[in-house]
Structure 1
């Protein structure tokens, strides 16, 4: 009897939650593989929402000034939580961990901490920062200058301690911007439903903290990067820069690269293809 494939631990990115993996889970489960999505610190069921977005009467000035209730969440806390989630799933052996977008920075921290518990690290249009480099450096790089995410921010992250989206806005132009940033190849109704599930605030410190990587830690774990060619949140040029820097730092363990002709959310627009990629990984 062939060995059972490793269980999949699925990690979302900023503003998303474990819900975003539902279409992929249905497909990998049908193939007989265990898959467990988790919520990052400050997201999903762990989210804390600013009062200004639901306060009535609505005060747009408060959107730009109310300090985020998740401003205290940094990469240390997020990494510790993810390590505990990995340990829970890895009781019978290592897991294959899959991260999307900013979840990649948290996965990188966790893998550095417990490389023995991760058989394979998969980055789906995700931040895969180099040693001691914060993800913010890539988000703000020239390669990412035309990302539509920066346009969608409704406060200065340095002032409120978070990256804030105004998900309650009824402005048609702003909602088109959100769809273009995250769901450009998804039907508008489905994209609007997904926007309704997003978390408005994502902690700035998770983007500005960094992780020191070692050859025996993160550098020892096999990794795959899925480049999303039509991504308007994390531009393809940035994704390729991340791959190049990782391979330069750890040439003995090069990144396997797969491409998808998708937007930033292929788990919703191309779940069959994403599940197919994961099915090929032990």
Structure 2
């Protein structure tokens, strides 16, 4: 199989779904590349929404207390699901996987489990944690200071088992904070449409899980990191730390780096550039 015909699988991040890749997929397909976006465990068509955000009359206190219906979803499940998607789409042949944000932890797990089936791992401003470090620990690192996602949580993740956003809120300041966190350079109409498609609960278990990385596993897979200079969810300093930590752990397989001057969601603000980047990879 030539590099140009290697299937490409796109994995979204927390709260999003396969829908967020539609503009990129269209452009990649126009280049003649086989590509598909998948839903991560607990997201998209696999999501289950809490009742508190839509129940009437509305009970504001329930937003902070209702246990999430996706509280049981963890990194093991998410990684196994992605492995099954890789097997199904690749039909036993290697695929290129592009992951965004917390989807990077799931890509890392899958690549460690089946490195022979991942031709290239692409992290688009994604979490790429070191061995045995959970994604949530990276969120809390000093390099991620100033991020706007955690301040948007409307419940204690430890209490409800999820990272909850109040997507039904009519508070203009809160909604602007969500736009700034995820869609800073996205057309306002598109950003509002995207907010309407987000899932309110992201399973905390995915961020709490960690993967032990080995030289013959994840460390053997070619990888590219696409940095986003104006990201307010995964801060640029944390992106650089992911790259330097990976290169220190696996110096014989250094990370290729591509830079974008974008916010957290370049698949919406500059889909053509994202498509051009991934189409050039194996």
TM-score range, shorter chain: over 0.9
* 1:29 alignment counterpart: 29
* 2:254 alignment counterpart: 254
* 1:233 alignment counterpart: 233
Contact 2:68 2:160 in 1 (8 A): yes
* 2:18 alignment counterpart: 18
In 2, Cα distance between equivalents of 1:30 and 1:175: 35
Change (3 A) 1:48 1:154: same
Q: Tell me whether 1:63 sits opposite 2:69 in the alignment.
A: no
Q: CA deviation at 1:4?
A: 4.0
* 1:112 alignment counterpart: 112
Comparing 87-96 with 252-261, greater Cα deviation is found at 87-96
* 1:145 alignment counterpart: 145
Q: Deviations over 1:14-63 (max 9, x none)?
A: 00000000000000100101101000000000000000000011111000
Q: CA deviation at 1:5?
A: 2.7
Contact 2:119 2:221 in 1 (8 A): yes
Where do 5+ consecutive residues of structure 1 fail to align?
none
Q: CA deviation at 1:92?
A: 5.5
Change (3 A) 1:224 1:159: same
> With structure 2 as the length reference, what TM-score do the two structures score?
0.98
In 2, Cα distance between equivalents of 1:186 and 1:234: 16
* 1:80 alignment counterpart: 80
Q: Tell me whether 1:244 sits opposite 2:229 in the alignment.
A: no
Where do 5+ consecutive residues of structure 2 fail to align?
none
- Provide the aligned length of Structure 1 versus Structure 2: 282
Q: Deviations over 1:170-193 (max 9, x none)?
A: 111111000000000012111000
* 1:220 alignment counterpart: 220
> With structure 1 as the length reference, what TM-score do the two structures score?
0.98
* 2:267 alignment counterpart: 267
Contact 2:165 2:200 in 1 (8 A): yes
Q: CA deviation at 1:2?
A: 6.3
Q: Tell me whether 1:121 sits opposite 2:121 in the alignment.
A: yes
Q: CA deviation at 1:166?
A: 0.4
In 1, Cα distance between equivalents of 2:160 and 2:39: 22
In 1, Cα distance between equivalents of 2:214 and 2:140: 25
Q: CA deviation at 1:3?
A: 5.9
- The alignment yields a C-alpha RMSD, in angstroms, of 1.1
